[in-house]
Chain A
Amino acid sequence: MDTDRERHRARETAFYLFTQQSLPACKPVLTPGWVIAIFLFMGVIFIPVGLISLRASHCVVEIVDRYDIDCVPEPSRMDKVSYIQDDSIPKNCSHFMKPVPPITWKVSCISPYAEPYTFSSAVITRHYTAVKTATEYVKSRSDKQLLDGQKYHDTSSCQPVESNNNRPIVPCGLIAWSLFNDTFEFIREGAELKVNRKNIAWKSDRGHKFGKNVYPFNFQNGTLIGGGKLNPEIPLSDQEDLIVWMRTSALPSFRKLYGRIEEDLDVDDVVVVNLMNNYNTYSFGGKKKLVLSTSSWLGGKNDFLGHACVFVGCSSLTLAIIFMLLHVKYRRPYGDMSYLPWNRKSFSG
């Protein structure tokens, strides 16, 4: 008796069930009813989500201003490369940006956004083929050195910007060397518009990837100057422009956050931008743009998410309707053996 019971119990154990391939399992069958219900459900969920995202995206006001051509004086336009490479010419430039709301703005966001809105500004450069391009470029950095500074010696990955005059360069590598160095000054109605340049980089980068005690050293001292210089007094973890820059983008055209304007701008305000057009994108046909944009809970202006959701929702609904019609028209009992292929074959032949 006891052994019988034991054996019985043994049969119930999970391992025994596993060995017999009979672990309890859920075996859903996709019957037409289920399929239609699932598609309907997806439609019902995705369409509203898509509409909400679209609305949020449409409420973002964005002004894009390309300045790389305008900022080259008329006589130099024939040879922009030599203009940009000539250090003796001042690169000052003034631009006007008028935050005129786009037409759709009025339609979609009536009440909450009629208020004066907050702008944040971002610098956008557009490189024709991106920084990203070459493996040589994206790999030319040393994350360890960014964190530990000169204590870390194995910076061979930084080639060809590894050391200068036999002294290491901090931060080393092509990415840091080609730091973006256009500067901007925003003026509204004669007064300077305060731009907050703090907290533009990821907190995790500031805290964990760039050293608090690492100071720029021997940077941009070589014969060939790439991009911007760094203040050697400020530790890397506070050099937020560098931190933002060091996150290379995946795609050829990309935006980098420059700072936030924390004052309200009115609809009629004109913002004058005084900028230093230092960075050379002319040699490879890149573009530089400045973008002023508000932000919503969804981030910046991006219609894709909304469109994608609406598309998925609509197609699910359509499929649900098609399946429903098919199901009504060609209804057949569930589990009818005569539909099995070998049974059908014997009917016909």
Chain B
Amino acid sequence: MKRYVYINDNESSHELYCDNRISNRKYTVLNFLPKNLWEQFSRFMNQYFLLIACLQLWSLITPVNPASTWGPLIFIFAVSASKEAWDDYNRYLSDKKANEKLVWVVRQGIRKHIQAQDIHVGNIVWLRENDEVPCDLVLIGTSDPQGLCYVETAALDGETDLKTRVIPSACMGIDFELLHKIKGVIECPNPDKDITRFDANLRLFPPFIDNDVCPLTIKNTILQSCYLRNTEWACGVAVYTGNETKLGMSRGIPEPKLTAMDAMIDKLTGAIFVFQIVVVMVLGIAGNVWKDTEARKQWYVQYPIEGPWYELLVIPLRFELLCSIMIPISIKVSLDLVKSLYAKFIDWDAEMIDYETGIPSHATNTAISEDLGQVEYIMTDKTGTLTENRMIFRRCCISGVFYGNESGDALKDTKLLNAVAGSSPDVVQFLTVMAICNTVVPIKSKTGAISYKAQSQDEDALVNAAAQLHMVYANKNANILEIRFNGSVIKYEVLEILEFTSDRKRMSVVVKDCQNGKIVLLSKGADEAILPFAYVGQQTRTFIEAVEQYAQLGLRTLCLACRELREDEYQEWSLLFKEASSTLVDREWRIAEVCQRLEHDFEVLGVTAIEDRLQDGVPETIETLRKAGINFWMLTGDKQNTAIQIALSCNFISPEPKGQLLLIDGKTEDEVCRSLERVLLTMRITSSEPKDVAFVVDGWALEIALKHYRKAFTELAILSRTAICCRVTPSQKAQLVELLKSCDYRTLAIGDGGNDVRMIQQADIGVGISGREGLQAARAADYSIGKFRFLKRLILVHGRYSYNRTAFLSQYSFYKSLVICFIQIFFSFISGVSGTSLFNSVSLMAYNVFYTSIPVLVSVLDKDLSEGTVMQHPQILFYCQAGRFTVSPPFLAFFLLYNRASESEYICWMVWSIFVPCNCCVCDHHTCLCLREK
């Protein structure tokens, strides 16, 4: 399905597409009550309580006052409904603010100031600097003569750097005044939530004739909620409006996560319900038999001889009402209450504030704190999670010469400095690639200092390093780049940018030297994406060695390469590229294919090595958590050697004699199968030895293993306490989490970047590190923390306490309900099985609320052990993981009932024995008090 947007056509699209009214509201004033009630009543527990409450309205069968159920029920509903209403009202207010914001829109050829909600698809919207974008726009003009503008997309993807956006080539050079009158059609896909793709075409109508269909990409759009920066003005055509924008579409409600404890409580509730039905049936039958045989003789009750048709139902229903108390109505409220307090404790914790950035920890999901205490597997990302993600250029290898090996810092290596000063051509070429083969935007401040806005930390490190080596990337003016080197200015024209994708693992730019007109392809990428494509005859051995050497030091490597292109070769390819870029289907794949045609026969220039330091406290945290019986898996997109190196340096795996690394590799199914079996065998043998065995697998082998040998791999996953998965894609990360979850393990995924989002959402608990790669992960996560080391406190302190407290609270809730219920049941044996309540309604309600619910809430402050003790002996966590309180449901139910039964029997017996022989005691229906003579 496609959408045709007619630019500046005021009427035609009005009915077809919605206006720009943003609505995040779940309810309206009218449908709030029914909709909210419907939602609440879709829960089994609530249905049950409603049924009970309704039955209680029938005065014939109710042993207690209906208020004792209606009261709490209405209270619970009122609390959750008002919470919903409050949230919804706030959403309404923020929507209203956004909807009523005034924007400049072209109407009948004149620019008008109208409310944002009145924008329609096809309208031309004008924005000034620092304006928020009201809907998804296709750029058609900016103040920049080259048609560039800068946007900040922080609200969309959490990345704080500026992104460049450019107007489509067809709109290039249209006069400022004429933009009001522009007509045309944009052919674009139906709204979707992919914020990285916009595969559309633009065709302008006369007089703006341009025969070509102009391809549009995400680069030609500015999306809702972004901010226009560093650009005086920009204007664009609204293509998606209201809730159909990319932001609006991606604003889904994630599926709520259930904790193990919740599932347990649900099961227990079910078990008790079944038990209750049995009790009701047995007692109901007994009651009816009793009534027919004995009770008729009791003249004082005046039983009618012939009762109504429902007579037989009365006693069972009465027992049902009497036993309804078995399922504690208060448990949901109390649990919600204490859980939100756990979350607050996490937010408040002064020891989990990242003082470098001042970001406190935050619990987005308030409902799953106790799961933290039951974590068994932690899947962690490497870059930015274990490491700081602050890239520093450390070493390089240019044409076989190693720089920076002695001092550990190439920037201080006199050899390299001399080579730069001497303008050695290899080095100059290398530095040029470092400086311009990227998507960095240089921004000149008023003092003349240049700062760089880069999307990737690696590019930032390379450009900065190049600048320090006197190759300064000074200015970018549309397609013209300016580089200052040793005092001279070199200009390049950027012809194409072949962007980085995780499949291609490299990025390239095609530039034209403005001095001599030579066209050059500059590439940088992972070693396996560059080195195999070196031209025939080039010796790449030193580079391979360099890559290995650097990887062993835990450095990130990139290979730089270039190739001179012939004019005709470029022209020919350029057409193909243009065509691929304007396809609507499979565009990414097509582009990759076309790029492949250009990216070969490289002249490899050298290898760069970038250091990414470990965060503070990472080794200690991992060691402590491993002692607590938590297994660690590292899932990284990085190279195997780098991953292993980092793993060694952060206690992830032990070095040789104590630890052992098993490799699973292979390119074909057979190879992978063999190596998998070998590893599995070793693993089985060594599982009894106190030896740290870990396996390493790369993305390729993992793909095969998951596809064809899932069973063997699952067994391996269960056996192995540690694993390193390198070169894995985001979806593989999520698959691995899924795999462990399917083995009934509690998993926690921690990561910081957009590539971890899927894994974080998939895991039982997702933890995001609000790091340098943006806030994407932190937003998708259930918990966001500033540093990896806070994970220790999050799990051992908050997780453990929450678990213990919730376990106590839920057990107690069931316990107290069962106790009072069993008293009632036993009482029925001495009250002629007629379903009479021993307690009056007020006492029952007071028992449930004042005596047993509110005081117990204090347990939310209970600490069984001090924080220090838990940190010192993390093994204690084992009791939580094993689910001390969560024995298998049927057994637990039996256990609970058995224990409670004997207890209430005792209480009942006690009541009896006190009062039966009690002289001169007036034993009362409500309370039993002794009346004494004076």
* Cα A310 to Cα B402 with chains together (Å): 91
Contact of B921 among A160, A255, A303 (CB under 8 A): A255
Contact of A129 among B298, B299, B913, B922 (CB under 8 A): B298
* A214 CB → nearest B CB, Å: 21
Residues of A within 8 A of B925 (CB): 132, 138, 247-250
Contact of A133 among B831, B838, B863, B923 (CB under 8 A): B831
Contact of B552 with A by CB under 8 A:
no
Does the CB pair B916–A253 fall under 8 Å? Answer: yes
Does the CB pair B918–A21 fall under 8 Å? Answer: no
Contact of A82 with B by CB under 8 A:
no
Does the CB pair B931–A133 fall under 8 Å? Answer: no
Does the CB pair B924–A135 fall under 8 Å? Answer: no
Residues of B within 8 A of A220 (CB): none
* Residues 843-898 (chain B) with a chain A CB within 8 angstroms: 861, 863, 866, 873, 875, 878
Contact of A226 with B by CB under 8 A:
yes
* Cα A342 to Cα B627 with chains together (Å): 10
Contact of B834 among A134, A280, A340 (CB under 8 A): A134
Q: Interface digits, A114-153 against B, CB 8 Å rule (1 contact, 0 not)?
A: 0000001010000001111111111000000000000000
* A275 CB → nearest B CB, Å: 20
Residues of A within 8 A of B264 (CB): none
Contact of B836 among A20, A138, A295 (CB under 8 A): A138
| A302-B914 in contact given A20-B349, A60-B919, A138-B925 (Cβ < 8 Å) | yes
Does the CB pair B918–A302 fall under 8 Å? Answer: yes
Residues of A within 8 A of B110 (CB): none
* Cα A130 to Cα B301 with chains together (Å): 11
Residues of B within 8 A of A303 (CB): 917
Does the CB pair A250–B923 fall under 8 Å? Answer: yes
Residues of B within 8 A of A122 (CB): 919-920
Residues of A within 8 A of B933 (CB): 120, 260, 295
The chain B residue sitting closest to A135, CB to CB, is: B836
Does the CB pair B920–A299 fall under 8 Å? Answer: yes
Interface centre among A248, A251, A285, A303 (most CB of B within 10 A): A251
Q: Interface digits, B343-385 against A, CB 8 Å rule (1 contact, 0 not)?
A: 0110011110000000000000000000000000000000000
Contact of A168 with B by CB under 8 A:
no
Contact of B774 with A by CB under 8 A:
no
Residues of B within 8 A of A295 (CB): 919-920, 932-933
Residues of B within 8 A of A340 (CB): 873, 875
Contact of B345 among A21, A129, A226, A253 (CB under 8 A): A21
* A136 CB → nearest B CB, Å: 6
Contact of A132 among B294, B836, B932 (CB under 8 A): B836
* Cα A321 to Cα B409 with chains together (Å): 74
Contact of A284 among B291, B297, B878 (CB under 8 A): B297
Q: Interface digits, A271-307 against B, CB 8 Å rule (1 contact, 0 not)?
A: 0000000001001110000010101000111111100
Contact of A249 among B344, B866, B924, B931 (CB under 8 A): B924
The chain B residue sitting closest to A122, CB to CB, is: B920
Q: List 18 A-B contacts (CB under 8 A).
A: A19-B344, A21-B861, A120-B933, A130-B832, A134-B291, A134-B834, A135-B835, A137-B301, A178-B300, A202-B922, A247-B922, A257-B920, A280-B299, A295-B919, A301-B919, A302-B921, A303-B917, A304-B913
Residues of B within 8 A of A129 (CB): 294-295, 298, 831-832
The chain B residue sitting closest to A253, CB to CB, is: B916
* Cα A27 to Cα B924 with chains together (Å): 42
Interface centre among A27, A249, A250, A285 (most CB of B within 10 A): A250
Residues of A within 8 A of B878 (CB): 342
Does the CB pair B299–A284 fall under 8 Å? Answer: yes
Does the CB pair B917–A302 fall under 8 Å? Answer: yes
Residues of B within 8 A of A341 (CB): 875
Q: Interface digits, A189-219 against B, CB 8 Å rule (1 contact, 0 not)?
A: 0000000000100100000000000000000
Q: Interface digits, B517-536 against A, CB 8 Å rule (1 contact, 0 not)?
A: 00000000000000000000
| A131-B300 in contact given A20-B350, A248-B924, A251-B912 (Cβ < 8 Å) | yes
* B929 CB → nearest A CB, Å: 8
Contact of B284 with A by CB under 8 A:
no
| A299-B932 in contact given A251-B912, A283-B297, A284-B299 (Cβ < 8 Å) | yes
Contact of A326 with B by CB under 8 A:
no
Contact of B831 among A130, A300, A304 (CB under 8 A): A130
Does the CB pair A160–B302 fall under 8 Å? Answer: yes
Residues of B within 8 A of A132 (CB): 831-832, 836, 925
* A232 CB → nearest B CB, Å: 22
* Residues 225-261 (chain A) with a chain B CB within 8 angstroms: 226-227, 244, 247-257, 260
Residues of B within 8 A of A284 (CB): 294, 297-299
Contact of B401 with A by CB under 8 A:
no
Does the CB pair B838–A134 fall under 8 Å? Answer: no
Residues of A within 8 A of B349 (CB): 19-20
Contact of A23 with B by CB under 8 A:
yes
Interface centre among A60, A62, A134, A302 (most CB of B within 10 A): A134
* Cα A133 to Cα B801 with chains together (Å): 48
* Cα A226 to Cα B294 with chains together (Å): 19
Does the CB pair A133–B301 fall under 8 Å? Answer: yes
| A255-B924 in contact given A130-B831, A250-B915, A340-B873 (Cβ < 8 Å) | no
Contact of A94 with B by CB under 8 A:
no
Interface size grouping (class) on chain A: 35 or more
Does the CB pair A299–B923 fall under 8 Å? Answer: no
Contact of B930 with A by CB under 8 A:
yes
Does the CB pair A257–B922 fall under 8 Å? Answer: yes
* A105 CB → nearest B CB, Å: 15
* Cα A304 to Cα B831 with chains together (Å): 22
Does the CB pair B300–A299 fall under 8 Å? Answer: no
Does the CB pair B861–A23 fall under 8 Å? Answer: yes
* Cα A256 to Cα B873 with chains together (Å): 64
* Cα A304 to Cα B914 with chains together (Å): 6
Residues of B within 8 A of A255 (CB): 918-921, 923
Does the CB pair B301–A134 fall under 8 Å? Answer: yes
* Residues 292-349 (chain A) with a chain B CB within 8 angstroms: 293, 295, 299-305, 308, 340-342
Does the CB pair B318–A135 fall under 8 Å? Answer: yes
Contact of B808 with A by CB under 8 A:
no
| A302-B836 in contact given A19-B348, A160-B302, A251-B912 (Cβ < 8 Å) | no
Does the CB pair B830–A252 fall under 8 Å? Answer: yes
* Cα A164 to Cα B697 with chains together (Å): 91
Contact of B589 with A by CB under 8 A:
no
* Cα A177 to Cα B302 with chains together (Å): 11
Residues of A within 8 A of B931 (CB): 202, 257
Contact of A135 among B63, B294, B875 (CB under 8 A): B63
* Cα A138 to Cα B62 with chains together (Å): 12
Does the CB pair B920–A134 fall under 8 Å? Answer: no
Residues of A within 8 A of B835 (CB): 135
* Cα A288 to Cα B12 with chains together (Å): 96
* Cα A60 to Cα B917 with chains together (Å): 13
Does the CB pair A283–B299 fall under 8 Å? Answer: yes
| A304-B922 in contact given A161-B302, A299-B932 (Cβ < 8 Å) | no
* Residues 269-314 (chain B) with a chain A CB within 8 angstroms: 291, 294-295, 297-304
* A31 CB → nearest B CB, Å: 16
Known A136-B834, A252-B830; 20 more pairs at CB < 8 Å: A20-B350, A25-B861, A129-B294, A132-B832, A134-B303, A134-B836, A135-B835, A135-B836, A247-B922, A247-B924, A248-B925, A250-B838, A250-B911, A252-B831, A253-B916, A257-B920, A280-B299, A295-B933, A302-B914, A340-B873
| A133-B920 in contact given A280-B299, A295-B932 (Cβ < 8 Å) | no
Contact of A174 with B by CB under 8 A:
yes
The chain B residue sitting closest to A129, CB to CB, is: B832
The chain A residue sitting closest to B836, CB to CB, is: A135
* Cα A308 to Cα B912 with chains together (Å): 13
* A86 CB → nearest B CB, Å: 15
* A347 CB → nearest B CB, Å: 14
Contact of A157 with B by CB under 8 A:
yes
Residues of A within 8 A of B302 (CB): 136, 160-161, 174, 224
Does the CB pair B916–A174 fall under 8 Å? Answer: no
